[in-house]
Each structure stands twice: as structure tokens, then as C-alpha cells.
Amino acid sequence: MTLLGDRQQLSYIASQAADARVNLELETEGMTLNIGPQHPATHGTLRIIARLDGEQVVWVDPSCGYMHRGYEKLTEVRTYPQVTALVNRIDWLGSFANEVPFILAAEKLMGIEAPLRAQHIRTILFELSRIANVSLFLGDLGVQLGAITPVFMAFRDREYVLNLIEGATGGRFHPNFDRIGGLKDDLPAGWIDETRTVMKKLRRFCDEIEDLLFGNEIFQSRTRGIGVIPRDIALQYGMSGANLRASGVDWDLRRDQSLPMAWDKVDWKVWTHPDGDSFARCWVRLQEVRESTRIVEQLVDTIPAGPVMTKVPRIIKVPEGEAWVCTENPLGEMGYYVVSQGDLGPFRVKIRSASFNNMSITPWLLKGVYVPDIVTILASLYFILGDIDR
Amino acid sequence: MVNPPNEEEFQLSLTTDTPAATDVVRDGILARVQAALGDKIVESLVKPGDDIWVRVRTESWRETAVILRNLGFSYFDFLSAIDWLPSPFGRGEDDPTEPAPVRDNTIRHGYTGGDTRIQMLARVVDPTTSMGINLKADVPDDNAHVESWTTVYAGANWHEREAWEMFGITFDGHPDLRHIYLPIDFEGFPLRKDFPLLARIVKPWPGIVDVEPMPGGDQDEPAQDGDAQ
């Protein structure tokens, strides 16, 4: 499967085999290692219980639920416009992107569509939240490997994007800006010029990170050939987003399904990587930030004139029916299965979050790896605890 | 808040044109699935330009997954359940000083119908065409159990653990059926409709008394319950 095929991977396998032999000869006893619930590599409160044999993991059990907030139950007692305030908090680094699929599902059930201008601005804000989210990942990646500098650069440059989101929506982290039928407001004056400047800064940040981190020999030896996920395993675990594309699956929900959004109106590329290892996952994300800046730059040039809100009743009642809408969020596929029975609020909402599926592979993936690799593999899978626990 | 638009200006943005009456692609997929599944299908539905729904027999829940995976639906999206019983607590906005209102508790099933209170809901996708199928199956009322999908799609493991603790559905053949989110001594199945949301019961929802006029809105018209525009 993997195309690495070089000395690096062979030496890794050989060292694993050597360790196994030593363990057999010495009859070392196993040990249980507890990581978390508070650990820099867990992006929240995730506890990982690992059973070790020497330096190798033989069995691992990620224990989630420390942050379970029961959003699926809470949506049942809220009206449709109120639900966006909840789902904002699922993946808190890319909040706006969480609102979009839910709003699209409600609009699908009501049979309305947002005006073109609102669709464009939605897409811009969606990509901005992806940039804010993934740029923090790129910085945080260094921390997991002991490099402190990239995270400061990431926080510095993410701030520009957060300022943009704040300028347009009023909220840095939880915009709650999407409405059924459009957006709360139009863009403020001068925002588009500012966006162009920031996108240039972000591309420079990507170049910096690529030089500093991806070209680093330590980074490469810690990530190349480690945590390999083959294509078919990734599919049957329901991995999505950059994790799936890093395993060589050319599938991006922004391109491969038709949604009332503006991705099909601009020129951009879906990046994949054939290796499926930690390095590939990080590399695909880096390219995605670059593509996102390109998408935003093209979209701000072509925002159509017109209103940002379509005509919706003052009290929103959604007709009876069921709808499934998913989008390619910063962490992967995020979808909502909304069941409506013609009431003010949804009857049932199944929230399909990306990190839950992405994490469910860890018992398989971490088997046999070395203890220090646990942290780099978890970092490269990139999960947000709010997205696992919902 | 955007000023209320005038009607002519907004006609264009509404999807007034009727959607296509037939969907060749999805009809083709459903025909292929029907040919493969045969009499395991109870009911099926294609909404043109939207999605496919298939309800299968409870006893062939696992077999359906095997057949669909071999048909190319190799991407496991999610697995969950729906409790169709209308909530006896409404939306948790009852005034506690008033007597409890009488509610209609007849079960109304969604697409592709159903016979039982709880239904399985899962989705599998063909990654090459990006077309998915929403699968449903009835879960017996008296003894809620279905076959596990873990040997077909490995990713179903955590989803089934979640469905087990949230809906109380037992998955036959699941290797590791234990709590994933809730504490190990938790009692009850929270996503069942008859499980009360205690936060709403011990303290009335402040939304009941929300009479503040909306800023920039129509001042003559008092804001109504459930209006968050």
C-alpha cells in the first residue's frame, strides 16, 4: 500500500521486530499507561488507556465522554433558529462551518434557498473558519513534537482570520451568523480589501510552516511511515476529510455533491496523498489551507450583488420530512440528519461529527506503535473533543 | 436584523421551479440495490435530486450491510436510531403552575414508514459516486435488539456503543458493548423520548416569558414564543 518503500520504513519495522524479540527473551511484564484526561495532545479532555509491552502499545482504549453535552437531546427542545447556537460549539475552532449543514438541511425541508450573495458569503466564512481551524493545527503539530515556535506563529496569523470573522459576524469564536434563508447581515465596508491582505499573510504563513516544520528532518522521521491507514480501512471506519484524502481517496464533499454553496464557481484543487501516514495527513492539511485562501480570494472578487436574506416567515415552521445534509468541514465530514414533524423545532437531529469516526480508528491504529508515536499519530489525526463528544 | 424585503425583489431567490420529477441516477442506484437485496426490502423511496431511503427487514439488517458493501457502498457514514414516540414532555416549555396539557401521542413514522416505536437509522456511501443510502429497520418493541454491523464495517463499533447507551438497543455479536459517553452506572436511555430532560423540568424555560421586542423589528407586533429571528 504505502509508497514509502525506503530505508526509513524498513528500519522502523526492523526496530519493532527487534523490540519484540527482546521482550520475548526478557519476559518483561506489561504495564498500563494512562494519558489524559488533561494532556496537550488531546485537544480537550480525552483519556487514553494504553496497555504497554516494553515500549510498544498492545491495546489501547480511548475513553471519551468527559465533554458530552447531549446536543442531540437538546435540539429536541429548541426551535430551528435556536439550534445554531448549540451546534456552534461542536467543533469550536471552526464554528461557522458547523452551522452551515444544519441550516442547509432546514432550508431543504422548507424548500427555500438562500440568495446567491448569501451563498457566496457563507462559503467565504466557511473557508475562513477552515483556515482558522487548520492553521492552529499546523502550529500545534510542532508542539506535539517538541517544537515551540510554530504554535506562536499559528496563533499570530490565526488572529488575522479571527479578526475578519469578528468583523463580519461580531463573534470571534461563535458567530451564530447563519439564518434559515440567508445570513444575519451583509459584509461591512472595507472587509473585502482586508480579506485579500490577510489571505496573502496566510499563504506566507503556510510557506513558513512548510520550511520550518515539514522540511525538518526530525519532523519527517517522526511522521513518515508511522500510523499508516490503508484506503479500505479508512473507508470502513468512516474516516473523512484530510485523513481520508491522505490515504489516497480522492473524495471531497465540496466538489462531489451539489449544495447551494459557491464552491463550484471557483477554481481549486483537491489534494490527496498516497501514503496514508502521519506526514501525509499533515501535508494534505497544509495544502488545504493554501487552497482555502485561493477559494476565498476568488470568491471575494465575484460576490454577486443583491440581498443576503430571502423571504422567510417570522415564525419558522418546517414542513414534515427528513433531510440529510453533510459538508466538508475543517475536521472532515459533518452531517445532520434532521427529522421534522411540522413543528417549531426538530423532532430528532442525528449529528454526524467527523472526529467521532476519525477517533474510532485509534484502537486499531495505535496497536503496535511506540509510546512517543501515540502523540504524533493523535496529533496528525486532528480531532477536537467537542466534535467527538457532542 | 435585515429589514423585511419587498416581495418582487425576492421572488428570484426562492426555489419556485419544481424539482425534477425523476432522478435517473438515484433511480438506477435503487434498482441495483433492489435487485441485490430482493425481498429483504420492505419499502424504499427516492426523492429526486435529494436522497434514497430503504427500509429493510429487522432480521436481514446485517446481511443488508454485507450486500451493500459488496455493491460498492464501502464508506460507513453513521449508525443511529430514531425514537418515533412523540415526547410526553413536549418541548419542555410547559408552565409548571398549569395542569399538564393533553398531548397526541400517536406515532407518526417518517419516510418509508415503520411498525415499531424505535427504528435503526444508518447511512452508507459509495465513495466513487458520492451517492449514499439511508437505511432503516424496525427494532422490536419488546426486545430491542438487532444484529451488529461491526464485522461488516469496523467503524460501526463506536456508533453501536452509542446507540446502545442512548436508545437501549442491544447489538447481537458486538464484541465490546459498554458505555462510551455516559458514566458506567448511568440508568436509563437518554435519547428515548420518554426520558425527561431534567433541566427543563426542574426550572421552567425562560423563553416562556420572552416578550422583549426585537431590535429593529416591527415594534407593533409583540414577539412570540419560539421566534428568534
A221 by Cβ neighbours in 10 Å (0-12 / 13-18 / 19+) ranks as middle
* Architecture label for domain A71-389: Orthogonal Bundle (1.10)
- Measured between CA atoms, the residue of chain B closest to residue A63 is B180
Task: Give the pLDDT of residue B217.
Answer: 57
The cell for A300 is 471575494
Task: Give the pLDDT of residue A198.
Answer: 92
Please provide residue A169's backbone torsions phi and psi, each rounded to the nearest 5 degrees. -110, -25
Alpha-carbon distance A238 to nearest alpha carbon in chain B (angstroms)? 5
Please report the ipTM that was assigned to this predicted complex. Answer: 0.83
Q: Of B87, B109, B108, whose CA–CA distance to B195 is shortest? A: B87
Cβ atoms of residues A377 and A225 within 8 Å? no
B28: amino acid identity, one letter:
G
Q: β-pairing, B118-126 with B75-83?
A: antiparallel
Task: Give the pLDDT of residue B8.
Answer: 47
Number of neighbouring beta carbons within 10 Å of residue A151? 17
Collapsing DSSP to helix, strand or coil, A325 comes out as: strand
Q: Which residue has the cell 411540522?
A: A342
Task: Give the number of A-B residue pairs with CB atoms closer than 8 Å.
Answer: 161
The residues with which A338 forms a beta bridge, in sequence order, are A323, A349
Report how far residue A359's alpha carbon sits from residue A383's, in angstroms, rounded to the nearest whole number.
7
Residues 6+ apart with CB under 8 A from A112: A180, A181, A310, A312, B14, B15
Instruction: Give helix then strand counts, H and E, for chain B.
Output: 5, 7
The cell for B172 is 447481537
Instruction: Give helix then strand counts, H and E, for chain A.
Output: 16, 8
- Measured between CA atoms, the residue of chain B closest to residue A66 is B181
| Residue among B74, B83, B181 whose CB faces A236 most closely | B74
- Which of B13, B77, B197 is the best residue to mutate to test the A interface, defined by the most A CB atoms within 10 Å of its own CB? B13
Cβ atoms of residues A250 and A272 within 8 Å? yes
- Measured between CA atoms, the residue of chain B closest to residue A321 is B110
Cβ atoms of residues A344 and A322 within 8 Å? no
Cβ atoms of residues B224 and B213 within 8 Å? no
CB contacts of A322 in chain B (<8 Å) are 53, 110-111, 134
DSSP B178-212: --SSS-TT--S-TTSTTS--HHHHHS--GGGG--P
pLDDT in tens, chain A (390 residues): 444 456 666 766 777 776 666 666 666 667 888 887 776 666 677 888 888 887 888 888 888 888 888 898 888 888 888 888 888 888 888 888 998 999 999 999 888 888 999 999 999 999 999 999 998 888 888 888 888 888 888 888 889 999 999 999 888 888 888 888 888 888 888 899 999 999 999 999 999 888 888 888 888 888 888 888 988 888 889 898 899 999 988 888 888 888 888 888 888 999 999 888 889 999 999 999 999 999 999 999 888 888 888 888 888 888 888 999 999 999 889 999 999 988 888 999 999 999 899 988 998 888 888 888 888 888 888 888 888 888
Contact state of B155 with A361 under an 8 Å Cβ cutoff: yes
Report how far residue A369's alpha carbon sits from residue A65's, in angstroms, rounded to the nearest whole number.
25
Contact state of B181 with A314 under an 8 Å Cβ cutoff: no
Report how far residue B177's alpha carbon sits from residue A388's, in angstroms, rounded to the nearest whole number.
18
- For chain A, where are the alpha helices, taking DSSP H only? 7-26, 71-75, 80-87, 95-110, 116-144, 149-169, 191-209, 217-223, 231-236, 242-245, 253-256, 278-301, 354-359, 362-365, 371-381, 385-389
CB contacts of B69 in chain A (<8 Å) are 236
Report how far residue A387's alpha carbon sits from residue A356's, in angstroms, rounded to the nearest whole number.
7
Region B66-92: mean pLDDT is 87
Contact state of A257 with B83 under an 8 Å Cβ cutoff: no
- Measured between CA atoms, the residue of chain A closest to residue B19 is A111
CA atoms within 13 A on the CB side of A56: 19
Cβ atoms of residues A30 and A52 within 8 Å? yes
Per-residue model confidence as pLDDT tens digits over B16-61: 455 557 778 888 888 888 888 888 888 888 888 788 999 999 988 9
Report how far residue B180's alpha carbon sits from residue A68's, in angstroms, rounded to the nearest whole number.
10
The cell for B71 is 455493491
The cell for A202 is 496566510
The cell for A312 is 422567510
Q: Which residue has the cell 440508568?
A: B187
- pTM of the predicted protein model: 0.83
Q: Which residue has the cell 420572552?
A: B210
Min mean pLDDT across B73-82, B147-156, B167-176, B205-214 is at B205-214
Residues 6+ apart with CB under 8 A from A224: A4, A8, A9, A275, A277, A278, A279
Task: Give the pLDDT of residue B223.
Answer: 46
Task: Give the pLDDT of residue B81.
Answer: 92
**Of all residues in chain B, what percent carry a pLDDT higher than 70?**
77
Report how far residue A168's alpha carbon sits from residue A120's, in angstroms, rounded to the nearest whole number.
13
CB contacts of A357 in chain B (<8 Å) are 76, 78, 155, 158
Encode burial over B135-151: b for 16+ CB neighbours within 10 A, e otherwise. Answer: bbbbbeeeebebbbbbe
Residues 6+ apart with CB under 8 A from A283: A214, A246, A273
The cell for B17 is 421551479
Domain boundaries, chain A: 71-389
Report how far residue B191's alpha carbon sits from residue A271's, in angstroms, rounded to the nearest whole number.
39
The cell for A352 is 454526524
